Amino acid sequence: MSLLLITSTLSVNKLHFYKRTSENAIDKTNPTMNKMKLTFIISSSILFSFLYFGFDNILAAEMSTKNMKEIYTILMVINASLIILLQIPIYKYVTNKIGDELAIISAFIVVMIMSMPIIFYFNFITAFLFVLSITYAEIFYATSIDTIILKGTSEKEAANYMVFSSYSISIGVSFIGWFYNDLSIMFTLVAILITFVTYSGLITYRNKNVKRSIS
């Protein structure tokens, strides 16, 4: 339920953010969408909803069954505090170095690596590592996706990308709700999505740099 509320909030925020920054968009008469960019946005949004669902629901359920509710509260406080204190400096530093596409790819890879220990052994340390990785992904996902959508696109194209992103989050939440009890299916889906995110993100990043060099 909380993720569905987050999805609707993200949709509204994206539209408001789009209106505030539409002056950065170009080519207002041509709404043709880039297929690789669209693939990157959709796969990133679905993957983020998968990972966030694990953070928001699966972790809470596991800690509840293991009588670790107090620790879960501490982890939520850590998550919120890190985002409030570190989001702007970390986002600026990383994206200035490698760009938004590679920042999202690296965030998802960090989540995959740091979530492995919690699968084999569940305790405070492994849960803390998982929360740190999800926090890192949260720092980049929403802002980077909005930046990728709005830069160098027409207003109509940006609006279409945002609709696809919001619906992809809803689709991801629905699918992971069916499969989260089966880790093999979950990891297969996540692996496939990371492949799509990495491939489409690298091509989008390369094409953007080619356009810059030409201009």
User: Given CA atoms 156, 142, 182, 200 in this order, what sign does their dihedral have?
Assistant: positive
Top-confidence residue, 21 or 119: 119
Task: Find the range with the poorest average confidence among 58-72, 101-115, 147-161, 196-210.
Answer: 196-210
Assess if residue 110 is contained within a domain: yes
Please, which pLDDT band fits residue 93 given cuts at 50, 70 and 90? very high
Task: Find the range with the poorest average confidence among 69-78, 80-89, 176-185, 197-206.
Answer: 176-185
Task: Find the range with the poorest average confidence among 35-39, 139-143, 154-158, 197-201.
Answer: 197-201
* 40 within 8 A of 148, measured Cβ to Cβ: yes
Assess if residue 117 is contained within a domain: yes
d(CA 156, CA 199): 25
Assess if residue 170 is contained within a domain: yes
Assess if residue 20 is contained within a domain: no
Q: Is 67 helix (H, G, I), strand (E, B) or coil?
A: coil
- Cα 112 to the center of its chain, rounded Å: 13
Distance set, CA 52 to CA 7, 35, 38, 108, 180 (Å): 11, 25, 21, 11, 12
Q: What domain range includes position 56? A: 48-214
165, two tokens: 């992103």
The number of folded domains in the chain is 1
Close Cβ partners of 111 (under 8 Å, ≥ 6 residues apart): 51, 133, 134, 136, 137
Give the model confidence (pLDDT) of 121-163 as tens digits.
888 888 899 899 999 999 999 889 989 888 877 888 888 899 9
Assess if residue 62 is contained within a domain: yes
* 14 within 8 A of 166, measured Cβ to Cβ: yes
Assess if residue 59 is contained within a domain: yes
Assess if residue 24 is contained within a domain: no
Assess if residue 138 is contained within a domain: yes
Residues 127-146, buried b or exposed e (16+ Cβ, 10 A)?
bbbbbbbbbbbbbbbbbbbb
